Structure formats: C-alpha cells, structure tokens
Amino acid sequence: VYGAVSATGVHRRATQSRRAFDHARSVLTRGVASSARLRQHSDAVVLRDGDGASVFDLDDNRYVDYALALGPVILGHRPPTVLQAVRSALDHGIAYGAPHKAEAELCEAVVRAVPCAEKVALSTTGSEAVALALRIARAGTGRRRIVKFDGHYHGWLDPVFVNTPTLLPLERSPAHAVHSVHGLPADDSITVVRWGELPELERALTDGPPVAAVIMEPLPCNFGVVQPPPGYLEAVRDLCRRNGSLLVFDEVLTGFRVALGGAQELLGVQPDLTVCSKALASGFPLALVAGTDGAMAPAIDGPVQPFGTFSGFPASVAAALATLRELERRRDEIYPRLERLGANLAAGICAAALEASAPLTVNQIGSVLQLFWGAPDPVTSYADACRSDRERIAALAGRLLDHGVHTPERGLMLVCDAHTSADVDAAAEAFTAILAEPAAGTDHTPETKGAEA
C-alpha cells in the first residue's frame, strides 16, 4: 500500500527515507556509497531489507526489485543455501590473513564453469580485478598500451575509466576520442576505439606502440545490452592472436549470469583472461581473474604478485561456493528460466509502450535488460545508446518506485531466480499505468518532488 494518490497516480511514502538520506548527505559524499546509486529524478529511497525478489524501504514500502544490487543478486536476496554457508564460515572465524581450504575449492568450481579458466586469482571488487588482469597482461607481454572500447565500463580505476557512460552529469553525446573523466586527464597508455568496427581495432593494434591487451565487455551491459555483430568476437580473437596482444573479457556483470560460464560460454569465444565478480558471490564482495595457464603465468611464477588484505575473504568465498554449487546443480533449469523471465518482462514492457505509443524500447539478453527512450530499435552501438533520452528513463525509474518496482535510474533491469511470472506481470502493468499518464515519465522532476512532499 503506497501513500497519497495525486493527479498522476500513486505516490509512495518517503518520510523516513528522506530523513535518512538528508542525514547521510551531511556526512557521506552525495549521501551515497557509490555514485551508481544516486537518484536525481525521484525522492530518496533508503532500503532496510531484502527478501527473495523484494526490497523494503524505511517507510515500509515494498518493491519488486529489478536492481538486484546492480548485478550480484542472482538467486534472490538472502538465499537460504548461501546464508547457511556464510553463517557456518563465520562460526569458524572472520579473516585469517592465511590460506583457508575453501579458496581452492572455489577456484576448482570456477575452472569447471568458466571456459577460459585454468588458473584463478582472487580479489575483492571488479575494479581491482580488472587492474590485476591488466597488470598480468602487461607483465606477460612486456607491453604497456591497452585498447578499450567506447562506452564499455571496467570499473572506476585508472587507466580504463575513460569513455565510459558516466552518471554525473547525465551526458548524451558520444565521444570517440580519449577524454578525461571527472576532470582528471586520461592516461596516454590507453587507446579507445568503437566496438563492432573491426578496421578501427585493426588500426589501433598495428599503429603506435605495441598493445598488451584488448579489454571489452563481450556483451556490453553498461551502455546497453548489446549482442556483438556476427563473427566480430571471433575476428577480434584472431586479431589479438596475430598481434601478440591478450584478449581480456570483462565479465564482472555477465559472468555466472548470462550462462554459468558467462558470455564466453554463451557466445563460444574464449579470451586469454577474464574478470568475474557480482553474481559469483550472491552479493558478498568477491572478484576474480581467471585465464589460461599461459596468460596467467606472470601471476603464477612471474613478477606479478596479487595482494589484498580482504582477497579470499572467508565469508565471501563461502557465499561464492554455495552460489556456484547451486547454479551448477540447477544450470539446466535456472538459465532457461532466467531467459524466459527476462524475455517476458521485455515483451510486457514493449507491449505497454506500443499501447501508449511511447518511444520506449528494450534490449534484453537473458536476465539483463536495458530500457531506452527515443533511441534506434534495437540499439546496436554506443552511439545508438547515446541517443536515448536518459532523463526520461531516469524519470520513469522514479515513477516505477511509486508503483512498487525498484530499478536504478540508468534503466538497467535484472531478473533473478526468485522472481515469479506474477512479478513480471506486475512490472508490465506498472509500465502500462505509467505510460498512460499524461506526459509520461516527465512528472517527477526534482522541482515537482518538493511540492508533493
């Protein structure tokens, strides 16, 4: 049950969330621990609980959750098997700063699941693991230059935090040249090219200093949810081999989510190195770099020594082992189910858009969806994605909250094993109701928000 009903439909209660957020802003930068959680187009929502496919805020509003911690929640919030494994790990100890048995068991499960994985290095966050993968690639090749793709996100650390979809401010223009991010100058060891344009990559690999690694999201999920053009990944694989550069797949979001073995299993192309995190540990902080024995050699008996006080954190490793065991045991059921739920959600949203003649479109691969407003349909490139009206999508996320649907403002939606067909139908109904409103998606600007309060 939500708060007041106004001319534009239901509005949720937000008194406690607003109070807590105002307090947070007085002590925490921008009031959020990660800028990915900023809301510029709706009232604050400060969460208190998660359970299955639902989250609850301080004002007792319940939302069906399609944000899923931006990727980690794959089995649902607080899955019993994972909680039990974590509790049991905690009963023994919190951290050791010494090896513990479950680390190797986890790495064994990763080697079984991830096609390119012969050796595994453990880390804590996706950004750190990307940094480690690039260090391994540079040490192994004796080269410094890295090629990345326009709009692909590899975490917030240098040198790859360039030409990445930023949230502050909401930007719409594509830029193919390396540019600075948030006022910091770009590192000259990085070259940015457009994904899907083979000749551009070929030029980047052959002109200029030799390239240590080409890093990409094999299924980009941070600017859209986009399939590679037919044959493209195979051609990139071949180009890298011929140029002595390592191919790195950043599967921080897609790993264990689009298939047990990630996008490399789904698409049938193997990188030299891969980075996984998020769904790996059901929400506990854990990331890894995996690769062939050859590609991982600098970290096995070479100069690269991964460090990290929290690397292999026992509770995270226990969570990951329990998650992988469940995903492995139920893989033939769970991934088709996630695909079905994702496809039905996309179809429901598209039907609502069609009924309202709204230019809302969806790209969907398995359990990952991205909404666009006024962009080419389907979106096949970063340039296409940049034509989406991000403010309209952010405003829509605000209205969805009012209808009990929790999504991030960037229009990413994820489904998990705890979602039901009824959840998907309810989300589609929320889109139908919102898009039927006059000036749909624009009524929740920060200016009008104050008046509602």
Ligand X SMILES: Cc1ncc(COP(=O)(O)O)c(C=O)c1O
Residue 277 as a binder of ligand X (CB under 6 A): the answer is yes
Helix, strand, or coil here: 405? strand
- 303: cis peptide before it, omega within 30°? no
Q: Which residue in the set 250, 265, 402, 423 belongs to the binding site for ligand X (CB under 6 A)? A: 250
Going from the C-alpha of 291 to that of each of 33, 153, 216, 261, 317, the distances in angstroms are 31, 20, 15, 13, 19
Q: How many helices (H) and strands (E) does the chain have?
A: 14, 16
Q: Does 257 bind ligand X (CB under 6 A)?
A: no
Identify which range of 21-29, 126-134, 298-306, 424-432 contacts ligand X by CB under 6 A: 126-134
Rank residues 124 and 344 by Cβ distance to ligand X and give the closer one. 124
Residue 375 Cα distances to 13, 15, 167, 442, angstroms: 33, 36, 18, 17
Minimum distance of ligand X from residue 440's CB (angstroms): 29
Q: Rule CB under 6 A: choose which of 126, 196, 271, 411 binds ligand X.
A: 126
Residue with Cβ nearer ligand X (161 or 431): 161
**252 counts as binding ligand X under rule CB under 6 A:** yes
Q: Is the CB of 181 or the CB of 426 nearer to ligand X?
A: 181
Residues binding ligand X: number (CB under 6 A) = 14
CA distances from 30 to 38, 182, 281, 447 (A): 8, 15, 28, 18
Reduce the DSSP state of residue 140 to 3 states and report it.
helix
Q: Does 174 bind ligand X (CB under 6 A)?
A: no
Choice between 165 and 398, CB closer to ligand X? 165
Alpha-carbon gap, residue 91 to 102, rounded angstroms:
14
Binding residues among 60-119 for ligand X as defined by CB under 6 A: 70
Q: By CB under 6 A, tell whether 370 contacts ligand X.
A: no
Q: Which is nearer to ligand X, 146 or 253 (CB)?
A: 253
Query: Among 102-110, 114-122, 151-159, 403-411, which window interacts with ligand X (CB under 6 A)?
Result: 151-159
CA angle 13-15-17, nearest 5°? 95
Interacting span for ligand X (CB under 6 A) from 45-53, 110-118, 147-155, 378-386: 147-155
Please spell the DSSP secondary structure of 216-252, one letter per residue. E-SS--SS---PPPTTHHHHHHHHHHHHTPEEEEEET
State which of residues 42, 54, 125, 316 lies at the interface with ligand X (CB under 6 A).
Answer: 125
User: Does residue 197 sit in helix, strand or coil?
Assistant: coil
Q: Which is nearer to ligand X, 31 or 126 (CB)?
A: 126
DSSP-assigned beta bridge partners for residue 193: 149
| Minimum distance of ligand X from residue 48's CB (angstroms) | 23
- Identify the residue among 66, 153, 195, 313 touching ligand X (CB under 6 A): 153
Would you give the DSSP letter of residue 387?
Answer: T
Q: Which residue has the CB atom at the shortest distance from ligand X?
A: 126
- Residue 64's nearest CA partner among 368, 422, 390 is 422
Q: Which is nearer to ligand X, 108 or 187 (CB)?
A: 187
Tell me which residues touch ligand X (CB under 6 A): 70, 125-127, 130, 153-155, 217, 222, 250, 252-253, 277
